[in-house]
């Protein structure tokens, strides 16, 4: 790890003085990402501890946001390849694919710094429209936002990796079924994350316990396990529980049932699965709202890209305010 950050290493050669901070941030993004991810395994790249975005998403998004904002700074519109890259940012990273996305980020940082060298500072205040709506910005506004947005995701990447490390340590701490039962009934979904994830291509610990008969006859526990699985977006566990006759709304000991939590968390496939299995949309949560109310509130206050599709799925199923 370097002893100093880029802003402490003097000016970047050839970059105008007004754009030095942008260059420093971009170079720091590249260096920090390399340091943070150097020991990640393939599983850790795709892990979403507590449902937060994966390391793979953050690295792809940094590359994309720099590319898109520098495109706007040039006064250009995004092309289809850029839209395709945007849509692919959340995809699972294939085995051995880390080198490719890291190289892409480093190449984009180098290209961006090189582009800074060619910018006429007299144009920095020129108008630039952003997106299809042509939201008002300037050349320097686009450049600064591209850099600072990427750096913001370095911080989020660090959180993902740290939380993932805590989850991994919890997983290796030999969860007992009794300890897991207590956590499920208390709604400790974040801590339970590793128990609902597949392990090196094998079934999750919860599925293993289910198949061993550890849940047999425990209706409340089964219901709350479905709700936890919906909160986490664990489709294999949800499918197995539903196949065993667990009611599709699950339990509501946390104040919201499985469908409410799936809608709140932006778990579109979980919502679709529960609706297909007959989950009711008129159940009321601890705040006095039904699932459509919950999804609408979540879209406004805890927005997720899947919320519009979730709202449509709920309406299509007959959900009403």
CATH of residue 149: 1.20.120.450
Q: Which of 109, 139, 170 is the last residue of a domain?
A: 170
Q: Which residues of the chain have pLDDT under 50?
A: 166, 172, 321
Specify if 70 maps to a domain: yes
Residues 149 and 198 in one domain: no
Give pLDDT, residue 3: 76
Question: Cα–Cα distance between 275 and 285 in angstroms, integer?
Answer: 17
Asked if 126 and 16 sit in the same domain, the reply is yes
Domain that holds residue 136: 6-170
* CA distance linking residue 195 with residue 214, whole number of Å: 14
Sign of the CA dihedral running 39, 41, 42, 46:
negative
321: in domain? no
Do residues 87 and 190 share a domain? no
Residue 237 CB partners (closer than 8 Å, separation 6+): 196, 204, 206, 207, 210, 225, 226, 229
The answer to whether residue 293 is domain-embedded is: yes
User: What pLDDT was estimated at residue 193?
Assistant: 86
Helix, strand, or coil here: 39?
coil
For residues 312 and 199, membership in a common domain is answered with yes
Please report, for the domain that includes residue 250, its CATH number.
1.25.40.20
Measured between alpha carbons, how far is residue 56 from residues 103, 122, 161, 175, 197 in Å?
A: 13, 37, 11, 28, 17
Does a structural domain hold residue 251?
yes
Q: What local confidence, expressed as pLDDT, does residue 108 receive?
A: 98
Whether residue 166 sits in one domain with residue 23: yes
Beta bridge pairs of residue 127? 138
Which of 170, 196, 231 terminates a domain? The answer is 170
Same domain, 27 and 158: yes
In this structure, the answer to whether residues 163 and 187 fall within a common structural domain is no
Number of domains in the chain: 2
Residue 202 DSSP SS3? strand
State whether 29 and 129 are in the same domain: yes
Residues 81 and 190 in one domain: no
Q: Residues 168, 102, 83, 144: what is their CA dihedral angle, to the nearest 10 degrees?
A: 100
Q: Could you tell me if 87 and 44 lie in one domain?
A: yes
Cβ neighbours, 10 Å, residue 302: 11
Q: In this predicted structure, what is the pLDDT of residue 42?
A: 83
Domain boundary among 153, 170, 187: 170
- My answer on whether 127 and 198 are in the same domain is no
**How far apart are alpha carbons 254 and 240 in whole angstroms?**
22
The answer as to whether 1 is a domain residue is no
- Is 76 among the domain residues? yes
- Write down the pLDDT at residue 168: 55
Domain check: are 162 and 90 in the same one? yes
Please report where in the chains the tokens 């085995």 appear, as a residue.
95
219 in a domain, yes or no?
Answer: yes
- Cα→Cα distances 16→22, 114, 122, 136, 147, Å: 10, 11, 11, 24, 16
In a domain, residue 188? The reply is yes
Q: Are 124 and 18 in contact (CB under 8 A)?
A: yes
């Amino acid at each position: 790890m370097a002893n100093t950050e880029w802003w402490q290493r003097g000016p970047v050669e050839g970059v105008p003085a007004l754009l030095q901070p942008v260059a420093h941030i971009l170079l720091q993004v590249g260096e920090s990402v390399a340091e943070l991810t150097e020991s990640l395994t393939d599983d850790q790249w795709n892990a979403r501890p507590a449902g937060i975005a994966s390391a793979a998403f953050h690295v792809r998004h940094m590359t994309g946001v720099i590319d898109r904002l520098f495109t706007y700074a040039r006064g250009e519109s995004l092309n289809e390849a850029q839209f395709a890259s945007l849509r692919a940012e959340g995809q699972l990273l294939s085995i051995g694919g880390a080198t490719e996305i890291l190289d892409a980020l480093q190449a984009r940082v180098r290209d961006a710094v090189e582009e800074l060298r060619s910018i006429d500072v007299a144009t920095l205040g020129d108008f630039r429209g952003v997106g299809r709506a042509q939201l008002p910005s300037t050349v320097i506004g686009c450049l600064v936002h591209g850099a600072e947005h990427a750096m913001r995701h370095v911080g989020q990447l660090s959180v993902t990796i740290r939380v993932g490390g805590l989850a991994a340590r919890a997983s290796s701490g030999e969860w007992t079924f009794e300890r897991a039962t207590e956590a499920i009934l208390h709604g400790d979904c974040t801590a339970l994350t590793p128990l609902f994830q597949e392990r090196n291509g094998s079934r999750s610990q919860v599925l293993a316990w289910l198949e061993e008969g550890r849940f047999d006859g425990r209706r409340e526990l089964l219901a709350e396990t479905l709700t936890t699985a919906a909160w986490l977006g664990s489709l294999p566990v949800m499918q197995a529980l539903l196949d065993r006759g667990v009611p599709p709304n699950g339990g509501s000991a946390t104040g919201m049932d499985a469908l409410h939590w799936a809608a709140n968390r932006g778990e579109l496939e979980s919502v679709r699965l529960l609706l297909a299995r007959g989950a009711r949309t008129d159940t009321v949560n601890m705040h006095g709202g039904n699932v459509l109310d919950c999804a609408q509130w979540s879209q406004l206050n805890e927005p997720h890209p899947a919320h519009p599709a979730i709202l449509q799925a709920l309406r299509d199923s007959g959900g009403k305010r």
